[in-house]
Amino acid sequence: MEINRYEVCRYLGIRQGEPDARTGDLIDECQAELMKAATPRMVHRTYPLTIRKDGSLDLTCFQVKSKNLKKNLEGCDQIILFAATIGEAVDRLIRRYMKTQVSKGVVMQAVSAAMIEAYCNEVNLDFKRKAAQEEYFLRPRFSPGYGDFPLECQKEIGEALKMEKTCGITLTDSLLMLPSKSVTAVIGMSRQEISCQLEGCEVCSKQNDCPYRRS
C-alpha cells in the first residue's frame, strides 16, 4: 500500500513544507518496519438502506438518527458496512518504542495512522470497481464518531460484521477498537453519480482548535 507522506506529516503536526532530514529518515525507517509488521484484514457486508420520513436511517442491522450521515447517504438505497485493521503487531511496535525511544514511537503512531487510511482507501477503490459493474456509485466512507454519527454505533457494526471472529477487532468498554489502528465505516451506494467529498475533517465540529485538521 502507498502511504501518503502528507498525512504522516499532518499527524506529526507538520503543517507546511517537508520534515527536516532527521525526521524524514525516521519516517522512512518506521514505514519500513511497519510494512513488515502489518497484517491488513478487512470484513464487509452490504445491506438495504431506508431513509425514513422522520430523518432516521434504517441500515437493516441497526437504526440511527444522524443529520451528517443522512446528508452523506441521500439518494442511496444500499450501504456497505466495513471494518479494517492493520493488526496487533503494529500496536506492539508502537508500545515498544514509546517505552524505549519516544521520538520513534511518536513517528510510529503517525505512520501507522496514515497506513490504516491508505489500506482503507485501497479497499474502497476495490468496492468502487465492483459497484460500478452493478451500475452503482459509492459515497465516501463515514465512521462512527464523525459529526453527529454516534460512536455507540461501533457496537452494532461490530455485531453485524462479527469483527472479533472475522478480523480480530474487539471493542473496549469505552468503545475504542483493539488493535488501535482499526476503522469501521458506512459507505453509501447510489444509482446517482453525485459529487460528495465529505471526509472526517469536513464534518467535524472542531473547526479551529485541532492541530491535525486538514487545511
Give the whole-angstrom CA distance, residue 186 versus residue 64: 12
Query: Is 60 exceeded by the pLDDT of residue 202?
Result: no
Task: Give the pLDDT band of residue 212 (cuts 50, 70, 90).
Answer: very low
Select the more confidently predicted residue: 193 or 209. 193
pLDDT-above-70 percentage for the chain: 90
pLDDT at 198: 42
Q: Taking all residues of the chain, what is their mean pLDDT, rounded to a whole number?
A: 91
pLDDT digits (tens, 9 = 90+) for 134-163: 999 999 999 999 999 999 999 999 999 999
What value does the mean pLDDT take over residues 96-118? Answer: 97
* C-alpha cell recorded at residue 84: 479494517
Q: How many CB atoms lie within 10 A of CB 179?
A: 23
Task: Evaluate whether 177 touches 116 at the Cβ level (below 8 Å).
Answer: no
Give the whole-angstrom CA distance, residue 170 versus residue 21: 38
pLDDT digits (tens, 9 = 90+) for 42-59: 999 999 999 999 999 999
Residue 154 backbone class (left: φ over 0; alpha: ψ -120 to 50; beta: rest): alpha
Task: Give the pLDDT band of residue 201 (cuts 50, 70, 90).
Answer: low
pLDDT at 10: 93
What's the pTM value of the predicted model, to 2 decimals? Answer: 0.88
pLDDT at 173: 94
pLDDT at 18: 86
What value does the mean pLDDT take over residues 181-191? Answer: 97
Residue 66 backbone class (left: φ over 0; alpha: ψ -120 to 50; beta: rest): beta
Query: Is 80 exceeded by the pLDDT of residue 19?
Result: yes
Residue-range domains of the chain with CATH:
5-203 (3.40.109.40)
* Eight-class DSSP state of 142: B
